[in-house]
Amino acid sequence: MTRSISYDHLGTEQITASKCRDHAMLSSRNGSSHGRERTSEPWRVGVLFSRTGFMSVIEETQLRGTLIAIEEINDAGGINGRPVIPSIYDPGSDVRSYGQYAKRLMVDDGVSTIFGCY
């Protein structure tokens, strides 16, 4: 099944859950080449779609699509055996909130991948 997921500054791309899993597997291989140890810790990803405000009309479906893709990946065994765990924030259709939550996800929550952010 194909879903539309918006990537931060990269624009919108049609992807499947398997493409998402393949991208994460490639990232994990690249990370291990930098001397990182293998871990069973979950992959933490950020999710920023408005569930309130005027943008929620569009972003609610994108949020559901993202969560379905994460569920499909986890049902298939995760990525390299590691589950994907979303950290979800509601920017409330406020442009400044997207930036504030993106920063919080990267700095406080330690995620390196964020789905959303029109």
Return the CATH number at 95. Answer: 3.40.50.2300
Total length of the chain: 118
Q: How many Cα atoms sit within 13 Å of 76 on the Cβ side?
A: 13
Token pair of 37 as six digits = 């140890």
pLDDT tens for the chain, 118 residues long, are: 444 444 343 333 344 445 455 545 444 444 444 456 778 899 999 999 999 999 999 999 999 999 999 999 999 999 999 999 999 999 999 999 999 999 999 999 999 999 997 6
**Position 70 in a domain:** yes
**Position 104 in a domain:** yes
**pTM (two decimals):** 0.68
**Position 78 in a domain:** yes
Total structural domains within the chain: 1
Q: Could you list the residue range(s) of the whole structural domain that residue 22 is in?
A: 2-32+42-116
**Position 37 in a domain:** no
Q: How far apart are CA 80 and CA 82, in angstroms?
A: 5
Of residues 14, 89, 82, the one with CA closest to residue 46: 89
